Structure 1
Amino acid sequence: MELRWRVSHLPTAWMSLLRWRLCKVMAAIVPKTAAPWVDFCSVDKYYYIVRADLSCYMRSTNFNKGEDLNVFSLHPSCGNGDHYLAHEDDLFYIIKGTSYRHVSDMSKGDDAVVYSLHPSCQGGDHYLSAFGKFYIIYQSRGVYHRTKNMATYEDGKEYSLHNDCKDGLYYFGVKDYYYFVKPLNEWGVQYSRCTNFNTNERGETFSFHPSVIGFLPGGLGITHGPSAGVWNYIKTIRNDSQDHITWTDKVSVKQGFDKEKMLPVENNWNISPSVSGVPGRLATLLTKSQFFLSTSYGGFSVNTDRENWNSLSVDGETVSILLDPGQEVYVWQYSLNLGSEAVLFCRDLKFEAPTECPTENPLLPAKH
């Protein structure tokens, strides 16, 4: 095991051995505008959440009750879409730039046909289908376009979005309803249903099941708690002599990802073997992506590619420290937490005098 460590020579004073610094952050679901690789869609009795960044998607028959949660792999030809929607013709529509393709199964990508988007259907913030028509929402303008055909703009018309329908994080539709995901509030993560975006007719609100929230970008920050970088006390090194000494010994520390703590995330999911050959792999990807997010969404905005995500081990590293007479040094290790739980034990060690708890973040910043 390769550890990163440094020594700081500072004045000696008493402090609690369990002192640690926790960065206070918030948690929220990442909106479509900040997560172009994520989208919702639905058709017939099924509802879908596409995580193109993780090359998979979730299917459910009820987001509110968390029923029939199945996770499938996303075929490479269906990845990297700007928007995903499903129509009553049992086809999935994947929009990229100024064109779209439709397929019957996103895990296979067969029978694909590509069309150009009509100019009046281009540049939308959200796309969905309901009532046999396609809807393109221009959220910043507070309007939406409705048409029978996105290639020809047949029967195309523009409408104003009702005020109650303007703040959706994601939009999707089924045969007889529109849905939109609401920003996090005192009632948690919710989604609304209505039959008319222009009037918010028959508006009704539902809560997402926790097992569904965990699959959303930013969801682990809500179900488990916001991310934080924590320096954990390991041991004390002390020179009780009147001479300068070089202390040499092994420091035993945990290193890697504690997959067992995150396995419960997958408990209510039926995961296709093509998504994950081993239990916990999807939970690992979700946790890693959570840490990458900004603090606004319960992440920590760090790149953890250099850390060990494959396993958790306890190893020893031999270190040598020059100590002054009577000097006392505390050994700290850096970890990343979800809420109060340490789940990723990093390779960084630091040696400080008792008056100091490390405060720096040794990991590389995420490049969003």
Structure 2
Amino acid sequence: MTDSGAVVYSLHPNCQGGDHYFSDSGHFYIIFQEKGTFRMTTNMNQDTNAQEHTLPPNWKNNLYYWAVQDHFNFLKPVSDWGVEFCCAFSFQDNCADVYSVHPDVLNFLPGGLSVTKGPTFGIWENIKTIKNDSNTQLTWEKKITKKVGYNKEKMTQITHNWKIAASVSIESGELAKLIAKLQLSFSAEYGGSHVNTENESWNETTEVGELLKFELKPNERVYLWQYKLCLGEEPVLFCRDLTIDDEPNPPTEVPLPPAQP
């Protein structure tokens, strides 16, 4: 599929600023969450045959909207029953049918991993404490071992039940990696950490050695900290650089740049 021959039109002022856009059966639908309305029109450039209606209660504050053959569908955020798939038979229908959403579907959707696995978060791990218990200064020099990279084994598990067509150029392992990257970049609203991890190693996790040398004062302690990003209870990414200080409490700063909008 290509975008050759495409034509770009400006949006009519009445059609601008929507939170969700979808189309079906010759109409375009625009959801305005803050106003609590949706607009339907046959032409978003001219705002032709436009109507605006109040959103039924169950249509408000959902994550995804689409329509197929005059059936309106949307996904509701997590409730007591988990994420719900709702189907309405007209724009006046509050919500005719409600179904649960299968975890394999959620894993593929932006933010879905935060529902099936848990939200992402970053944590500093103390991988080594070096101390000089003597009354004289000493030189400490050793190779320390740390994990670096992406937890491919755990993340690839989300693709086990997916069927990827042979014509698709990406493998399941690479797709899982891409989904993990995106999940980490999302805002907290979607269970992400809002960090950019492009400069980190996304190769499969391995143990690497790093030679360190310190001058330790008498009775001094030095703490080696490594930052890792987790998804629920599982570590997803072990960052490369270490932070070294004399504080027993973990650092407070996030060593990764914020994700770009």
Normalized against structure 1, the TM-score is what? Answer: 0.62
Gaps of 5+ in 1: 1-107
Aligned-pair distance for 1:175?
Answer: 1.5
Q: Which residue of structure 1 lines up, in the alignment, with residue 157 of structure 2?
A: 264
Q: Which residue of structure 2 lines up, in the alignment, with residue 331 of structure 1?
A: 224
For residues 67-92 of structure 1, the C-alpha deviation after alignment (integer angstroms, 9 at most, x for no partner) is: xxxxxxxxxxxxxxxxxxxxxxxxxx
The answer to whether residue 80 in structure 2 is matched with residue 186 in structure 1 is: yes
SS in 1 for 2:210: strand
Give aligned pairs, total.
Answer: 259
Aligned-pair distance for 1:193?
Answer: 0.9
SS in 2 for 1:367: coil
Contact 2:148/2:240 (8 A) holds in 1: yes
Read off the aligned partner of 1:189 and give its amino acid letter.
Answer: V
Contact 1:248/1:318 (8 A) holds in 2: yes
SS in 1 for 2:78: coil
The answer to whether residue 117 in structure 2 is matched with residue 228 in structure 1 is: no
Using the alignment, how far apart are the partners of 1:153 and 1:355 within structure 2?
63
Aligned-pair distance for 1:306?
Answer: 1.1
Read off the aligned partner of 2:66 and give its amino acid letter.
Answer: F
The answer to whether residue 71 in structure 2 is matched with residue 177 in structure 1 is: yes
Read off the aligned partner of 1:180 and give its amino acid letter.
Answer: F
Read off the aligned partner of 1:331 and give its amino acid letter.
Answer: L
Gaps of 5+ in 2: none
Aligned-pair distance for 1:272?
Answer: 3.8
Q: Which residue of structure 2 lines up, in the alignment, with residue 302 of structure 1?
A: 195
**Residues 149-228 of structure 1 correspond to what in structure 2 (within 5 A)?**
156-200=50-94, 203-228=96-121
Read off the aligned partner of 1:212 and give its amino acid letter.
Answer: V
Aligned-pair distance for 1:146?
Answer: 3.8
Aligned-pair distance for 1:137?
Answer: 2.2
SS in 1 for 2:87: strand
Using the alignment, how far apart are the partners of 2:45 and 2:243 within structure 1?
60
**Residues 227-246 of structure 1 correspond to what in structure 2 (within 5 A)?**
227-246=120-139
The answer to whether residue 207 in structure 2 is matched with residue 314 in structure 1 is: yes
Contact 1:291/1:302 (8 A) holds in 2: yes
Read off the aligned partner of 1:192 and give its amino acid letter.
Answer: C
SS in 2 for 1:183: strand
Using the alignment, how far apart are the partners of 2:47 and 2:254 within structure 1?
52
The answer to whether residue 35 in structure 2 is matched with residue 141 in structure 1 is: yes
Contact 2:125/2:250 (8 A) holds in 1: no
Aligned-pair distance for 1:136?
Answer: 1.6
Read off the aligned partner of 1:169 and give its amino acid letter.
Answer: L
- Bigger relative CO (Cα 8 Å, ≥ 6 apart): 1
Read off the aligned partner of 1:271 and give its amino acid letter.
Answer: I
Using the alignment, how far apart are the partners of 1:296 and 1:119 within structure 2?
30
Contact 1:248/1:321 (8 A) holds in 2: yes
**Residues 52-131 of structure 1 correspond to what in structure 2 (within 5 A)?**
108-109=1-2, 114=7, 116=9, 119=12, 122-123=15-16, 124-130=18-24
Read off the aligned partner of 2:255 and give its amino acid letter.
Answer: P
Normalized against structure 2, the TM-score is what? Answer: 0.85
SS in 1 for 2:129: strand
For residues 16-69 of structure 1, the C-alpha deviation after alignment (integer angstroms, 9 at most, x for no partner) is: xxxxxxxxxxxxxxxxxxxxxxxxxxxxxxxxxxxxxxxxxxxxxxxxxxxxxx
